[in-house]
Structure 1
Amino acid sequence: MSQHDHAHTLEDLLPREARLVTWLVIEQEERTLQRVYELDEAPDLHWLFYGTRYAELPEKSPLVVRISASSSLWQAFVDGGSEPPLRGIMVTSRESSASVMAHLRRLLEVTFYGRRRALLRFYDPWIMAVLLGAESSVARWLGPLEGIYWYGGTFAQRAESGAVWHACTQARQEVGAHDGVAREEIALTRSEEAALETFVADYPLWVELETRAGLEAGSAEHAARFVEVLEEAQRLTIPPTEWGDYLKLRFVHFRAGLPEGMMARPVEERLSALRRHIGHEPDDTNTGKVWA
């Protein structure tokens, strides 16, 4: 049976098991490979795309690196909160390297909406959080792995506890019990498809608020506010094309509240009404930025 936990430190989630082997699965960006070799002169490193249909793109291939808890690479990954240039996830297993690599490569490709096929960036901690936060069969994601670890969480999880470390684990005796499931082609469930659809639609709004409105990615308060104003925009049937402007105004001028009679106004006038309302409020933002 799988278990999902979270904690402020990775050490609080990891089992005290010397025989477990730990791997990083990290997205390859401009400085990633250089950084790995700066921290480990002779890393046990594999290109995830090797032997797959994506093998001709080695410069885009995620890196799978075996690490130990005492290594500089481990510490840099933990201290960096799995952000670039070491952006990714951590996995543990007592199975062979070949078994672990075969499983990770199998996760690269999924089917969705019936017969469509796509590359799945499961090594992105946001994507992993979304997938394991959906109503999914965890056994097929874990396979021969005893644990998957990542930093951050979904929007809803961040709203509860901020950005923290997460773990999805299964008991040792469960690892060999799902061999059939682990070898099947992965077809996303409808709940997984829906969770990814929602994330793909909402994440650009999150990034824009980070960049231009002072949203702090690690803050539970800011994540809760993001979730609240996003739900508010949906409840007010604000057109999706106006969500960016609506969220910026509501996130920054959160204390201003909504104008009276908002629901009684035509949908196409609600954003303009909010702008006029905020224009008459005192300049009292809670992020230090002003939106006119």
Structure 2
Amino acid sequence: MISSTDARYLVLESRQKKTLLQALYNISDNPRWVYLFADSEWQTYLDESPVLLETAQNSEEYRWALMGLEEERLSGLFLESTQGLDAVASWLRARLTVCFDGNRKGLLRLYDPKIWHRLAVKSKPKANIIERALYWHGKPGQQRWVIDENPEPIAMSPMPTLNEQQWLALNDASA
């Protein structure tokens, strides 16, 4: 078991034909992970779901993911939390479906660094679940790690909603 102070959570998608889970099990005998879309209204798309992985910062899985993100074989976010895998999964799942443009709803791929960046994530004074989000971002040759402290990517009340600036920024994205 990973101590809560050492745990890191990675939301990952593969950009290659080899599946993410095949690659993960090639480097780890017993990775601790869940499908992000499991137990959500996106459950029917489980085959296309990103993976939420719990790992330690000094682990093989962490180094593998770090290299995969920098080499752009993987896409995703690093999340830091002391709350545990279930709490992190719930936090992410609560933000997957958003309202926009009145009554329309859709899947928000907030785990994609291009989308996360365009959301212009706000920092809250105190973290409820996620204390820090890190992602690899930038134009080719100019990428760097970006850190958001106590992030809140979208308005959550009364239900997850994109504001007009976020909606326009996402529409302008070529992700």
TM bucket, shorter chain: 0.7 to 0.9
Tell me the SS of whatever aligns to 1:91.
strand
CA distance in 2 between partners of 1:82 and 1:123 (Å): 17
Which residue of 2 is the match for residue 120 of structure 1? Answer: 108
Alignment map for 1:48-87 (pairs within 5 Å):
48-80=36-68, 81=70, 83-84=72-73, 86-87=74-75
Distance 1:58 1:102 in 2: 16
AA of the residue aligned to 1:78: L
Partner of 2:171: 197
- Determine the structure 1 residue equivalent to 2:142: 162
The 2-side partners of 1:28 and 1:58 are apart by 14
Question: Unaligned stretches of 5+ in structure 1?
Answer: 1-17, 204-292
Per the alignment, in what secondary structure is the counterpart of residue 37 of structure 1?
helix
Tell me how far apart the structure 1 counterparts of residues 161 and 122 of structure 2 sit (CA, whole Å). Answer: 11
Note closer, same or farther for the CA distance 1:92–1:101 as it changes in structure 2 (3 Å cut): same
Whether the 8 Å contact between 2:9 and 2:85 is mirrored in structure 1 is no
> Larger RCO: Structure 1 or Structure 2 (Cα < 8 Å, ≥ 6 residues apart)?
2
Residues 260-271 of structure 1 mapped to structure 2, 5 A cutoff: none
Task: Tell me, yes or no, if structure 1 residue 108 matches structure 2 residue 96.
Answer: yes
Amino acid at match of 2:77: I
Write the deviation string for residues 20-49 of structure 1: whole angstroms up to 9, x where unpaired. Answer: 521000125642111111121101111111
Instruction: Point out the structure with max Rg over C-alpha.
Output: 1
Q: Which residue of 2 aligns with 1:9?
A: none
CA distance, structure 1, for counterparts of residue 156 and residue 82 of structure 2: 16
* Counterpart AA for 1:149: L
1:76 and 1:121 map into 2 onto residues whose CA distance is 22
Q: Which residue identity lines up with residue 120 of structure 1 in the other structure?
A: L
Give distance in 2, aligned partners of 1:55 and 1:188. 22
Give the one of 21, 30, 33 matched to 1:33.
21
How far, CA to CA, are the matches of 1:82 and 1:108 in structure 2? 26
Structure 2: segments with no counterpart, 5+ residues: none
CA apart distance, 1:138: 4.1
- Residue 287 of structure 1 corresponds to which residue in structure 2? none
The structure carrying a bigger helix percent of its residues is 1
Residue 141 of structure 2 is aligned to residue 152 of structure 1? no
Count of residue pairs the alignment pairs up: 165
In the other structure, the counterpart of 1:130 is: 118
